[in-house]
């Protein structure tokens, strides 16, 4: 029996993780659950899985009568409060931590998780975008097995297994192209949140859906892949694949291309991360290529998706720049969703923020957090000034 803690249990990855664990009661037991504020869903999860501890990040929610009632209802569960409570839960001893807190808020808990777990199933890409060099070094020092959960990186991880690294020419990350892949480029300045949130393939949270529309998400995955697999940026490519059947590909030096295909459901990379290197028969569905009919691929348009080139530039420069890019993007996306900025303002805000925040070539972890804070304030100022 392996004990699992889920950070971000009420989000889409957390819910899918519990779906997988529910199907394997003889293999896994939940020892910890953490969420930000969704007490209704957390209460259901506690009732079903009865963890030893649960953490709630939002301090205002922790001060509510609803939270007090929850604690009274489950007296055998230890409740931890605030961001510090989530970090404490993350760092407790267990076999596997699934890190799926959305955005930059997931970095500190991911770092804390390295103290107590044997395997970290990483679904928070910002951990490696913001602090990739530091995090990979710390994970190696702690002897923690790091398994990616993002569908693209999970696919690459599987494809690289038993491959000699000197045989690898490049990895190819596929992208759906997001909700705007067929939208006329000359009309992008008219895009509203309602239009951008209609993802054609995946069902995700609002922030990551907008990141998919701009393809900032794919650019962040390029940075993540660089750290996970130790490849130079010139050996990481992005290609649009509308069907989202091929999750990633690996090209070897002899010109062969190996593709990882599967159903578009996050339960599969989660299952893979939990049981690696095993392969388990499951009831989550099978890919029917005859029903899919055809697979299409095309290059991404840098003019339509400038976020990708911006991410490559940030990754190549390194230092604190990726953390600055990530922070500015979080602010700009939320400003767009709140109708305080236009769709075209998202990348412009990120680029302007990167130019204003001081560059640190070899940041420590506190430098990363400070750069994040500075970038947040800078991006907010840019949006207020409308100087974009």
pLDDT tens digit string along 98-149? 999 988 999 999 999 999 999 999 999 999 999 999 999 999 999 999 999 9
User: For the whole model, what pTM was predicted?
Assistant: 0.94
Longest Cα pair distance anywhere in the chain, in angstroms?
A: 64
pLDDT band at 186 (very low <50, low <70, confident <90, very high): confident
Tokens 């009568």: give the residue: 65
CA-to-CA separations, 218 to 5, 19, 125, 210, 314, in angstroms, rounded: 27, 26, 10, 11, 13
CA-to-CA separations, 94 to 2, 7, 176, 357, 386, in angstroms, rounded: 8, 13, 35, 39, 48
For 318, which DSSP code?
A: -
Mean of pLDDT values over 283-302: 94
Catalogue all structural domains in the chain, each as residue range(s) with its CATH number.
2-124 (3.40.50.720), 152-304 (no CATH), 318-388 (1.10.1740.10)
Cis bond before residue 277 (omega within 30° of 0) = yes
**Does 336 or 203 have the greater pLDDT score?**
336
- Give per-residue pLDDT as tens, 42-71: 999 999 999 999 999 999 999 999 999 999
- Give per-residue pLDDT as tens, 74-104: 999 999 999 999 999 999 999 999 999 988 9
Lowest mean pLDDT among 9-18, 82-91, 181-190, 327-336: 181-190
The answer to whether the beta carbons of residues 4 and 34 sit under 8 Å apart is no
pLDDT of residue 388: 46
pLDDT band at 206 (very low <50, low <70, confident <90, very high): confident
Angle between helices 151-160 and 267-275 (to 10 degrees): 40
For 96, which DSSP code?
A: E
CA distance 314 to 123: 21
């Amino acid at each position: 029996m392996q004990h699992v803690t889920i950070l971000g249990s009420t989000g889409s990855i957390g819910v899918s993780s519990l779906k997988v664990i529910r199907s394997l009661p003889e293999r896994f037991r939940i020892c910890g659950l953490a969420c930000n504020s969704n007490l209704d869903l957390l209460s259901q999860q506690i009732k079903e899985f009865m963890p030893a501890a649960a953490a709630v990040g939002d301090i205002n929610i922790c001060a509510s009568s609803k939270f007090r009632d929850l604690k009274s209802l489950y007296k055998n569960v230890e409740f931890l409060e605030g961001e510090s409570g989530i970090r404490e839960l993350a760092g407790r001893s267990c076999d596997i931590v699934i890190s799926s807190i959305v955005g930059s808020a997931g970095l500190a808990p991911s770092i804390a998780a390295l103290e107590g777990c044997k395997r970290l199933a990483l679904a928070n890409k910002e951990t490696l975008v913001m602090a990739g060099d530091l995090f990979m070094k710390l994970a190696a020092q702690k002897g923690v097995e790091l398994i990616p959960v993002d569908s693209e990186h999970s696919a690459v991880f599987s494809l690289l297994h038993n491959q000699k690294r000197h045989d690898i020419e490049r990895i190819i990350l596929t992208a759906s192209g997001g909700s705007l892949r067929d939208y006329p480029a000359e009309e992008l300045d008219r895009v509203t949140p309602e239009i951008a949130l209609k993802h054609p393939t995946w069902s995700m949270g609002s922030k990551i859906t907008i990141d998919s529309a701009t393809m900032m998400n794919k650019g962040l995955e390029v940075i993540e892949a660089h750290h996970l697999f130790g490849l130079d940026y010139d050996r990481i490519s992005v290609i649009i694949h509308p069907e989202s059947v091929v999750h990633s590909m690996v090209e070897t030096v002899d010109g062969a291309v190996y593709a990882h295909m599967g159903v578009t459901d996050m339960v599969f990379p989660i299952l893979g991360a939990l049981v690696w290197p095993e392969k388990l028969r499951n009831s989550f569905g099978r890919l029917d290529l005859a029903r899919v009919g055809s697979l299409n691929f095309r290059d991404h348009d840098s003019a339509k998706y400038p976020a990708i080139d911006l991410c490559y530039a940030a990754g190549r420069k390194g230092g604190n720049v990726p953390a600055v890019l990530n922070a500015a993007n979080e602010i700009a996306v939320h400003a767009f969703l709140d109708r305080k900025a236009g769709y075209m303002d998202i990348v412009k805000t990120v680029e302007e923020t990167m130019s204003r925040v001081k560059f640190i070539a070899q940041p420590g972890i506190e430098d990363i957090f400070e750069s994040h804070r500075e970038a947040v304030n800078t991006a907010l100022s840019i949006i207020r000034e409308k100087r974009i």
